[in-house]
Amino acid sequence: YLYKIEHDPKGHKRSFLKIIDGSLRLRDVVRINDSEKFIKIKNLKTIYQGREINVDEVGANDIAIVEDIEDFRIGDYLGAKPCLIQGLSHQHPALKSSVRPNKPEERSKVISALNTLWIEDPSLSFSINSYSDELEISLYGLTQKDIIQTLLEERFSVKVHFDEI
């Protein structure tokens, strides 16, 4: 079960999976989400004594880390859907805001950054309003807004401000 995605400083996508049942081996070819999409495991790491180490195999209850699998999204699984994640649901955001770069010429940079953040956390929902052309973002609360604002500034070097809709 894919529970976390992050990007390293070089831009490589790192996917963290909880192995619920069975095992995952280096060079395995596995199906994503019981679909027709397959991926090959070209690198495989786990966490051992607080450090990431390269391994040939991870088993049930282990954490697997794989890199550069572009098709992965949070909530994906390998093979058949595990019984443990059947019927999971989540709350929907309560707030909606527009987000604008302090410098209008950085709009595309904001869109790209928000897309990267969405890949890492699909609960982040943003869109472009077809009437006003504003970037709109759905939020769970003010703390999430502050975190996104800080991430955009510190990680993507773009300053933004939010307005309630």
| Position with higher pLDDT, 86 vs 41 | 41
Nearest to 80 by CA among 144, 118, 35, 141: 35
Residue ending a domain, among 51, 83, 115, is 83
Give the pLDDT mean for 107-128: 89
63 φ, ψ (degrees, to nearest 5): -100, 130
Do the domain assignments include residue 15? yes
- For residues 162 and 153, give the distance between their C-alpha atoms in angstroms, rounded to a whole number: 13
Q: What is the pLDDT of residue 29?
A: 94
How many C-beta neighbours within 10 Å does residue 104 have? 7
Do the domain assignments include residue 45? yes
Q: Cβ(139)–Cβ(91) under 8 Å? A: no
Give the pLDDT mean for 29-46: 91
Percent of the chain with pLDDT over 90: 53
* Residue 75 and residue 145 in one domain: no
Do the domain assignments include residue 88? no
Q: Cβ(97)–Cβ(162) under 8 Å? A: yes
Q: What is the pLDDT of residue 82?
A: 66
Number of domains observed in the structure of the chain: 2
* Residue 35 and residue 67 in one domain: yes
To the nearest 10°, report the CA torsion of 116, 119, 122, 128: 50
> Would you state the structure tokens that stand for residue 164, as one six-digit string?
């309630």
The range of the structural domain enclosing residue 148 comes to 95-164
pLDDT (tens digit, 9 = 90+) per residue, 127-154? 999 999 999 999 888 888 999 999 999 9
Res 83 pLDDT > 70: no
Q: What is the pLDDT of residue 114?
A: 94
| Position with higher pLDDT, 94 vs 51 | 51
> pTM for this structure?
0.68
Res 9 pLDDT > 90: no
Q: How confident is the model at residue 107 (pLDDT cuts 50, 70, 90)?
A: very high
The pLDDT mean for the chain works out to 88
* Residue 7 and residue 58 in one domain: yes
Give the pLDDT mean for 16-20: 91
* Residue 77 and residue 9 in one domain: yes
Do the domain assignments include residue 123? yes
Q: Is 148 exposed, middle or buried (0-12, 13-18, 19+ CB in 10 A)?
A: buried
Residue type, 117: L
